[in-house]
Amino acid sequence: MFEGDPVDKGRYQQLVGKLIYLSRTRPYIAFVVSLVSQYVHDPCQGHLNVVYRILRYLKQAPGKGLFFKKIDERKVEVFTDADWAGSIDDRKSTSGYCTLLWGNLVTWRSKKQTVVARSSAKAEFRAMAHGMMKVVEYRRVGSGE
């Protein structure tokens, strides 16, 4: 992704760890945090500059975060998506899903797929399968199994 002088690996890992923690309540930074976390084992100055840029953005936007509302309609919704061969490094797809419970965002995930998808349909199907596993999990918890 970037080139440059190597930086202190421990400091980089510490900062990225804090960003991962912050992404729990600020899902809009989850994608960029997942990108910078791919380089925790061999970071360079360019990677650290991106981490500092994310931190500056968060400092300027302190009031942003999740908002939970109360609604009467009790339903579970899952939205999934995937990009086909989106990683230029290894041509793997990234899939993601988000789960809304009673209209509130409760879980989300974005992860690089473990295999290279041969078509966009296969990449989307893998994303949908991961999202549906979360629905099954909620059903099981809700039914008391």
Strand partners, 95: 82, 111
Rounded to 5°, the CA angle 81-142-109 comes to 25
* Rounded mean pLDDT, 55-66: 82
Cβ atoms of 13 and 54 closer than 8 Å: no
Q: What is the pLDDT of residues 73-103, one digit of tens each?
A: 888 888 888 888 877 778 888 888 888 888 8
Q: Mean pLDDT, the chain, as a whole number?
A: 83
pLDDT of the residue at 76:
81
Q: What percent of the chain has pLDDT over 90?
A: 22
Q: Which residues contact 20 (CB under 8 A, 6 or more apart)?
A: 33, 37
**Please, what sign has the CA dihedral across residues 70, 72, 75, 81?**
negative
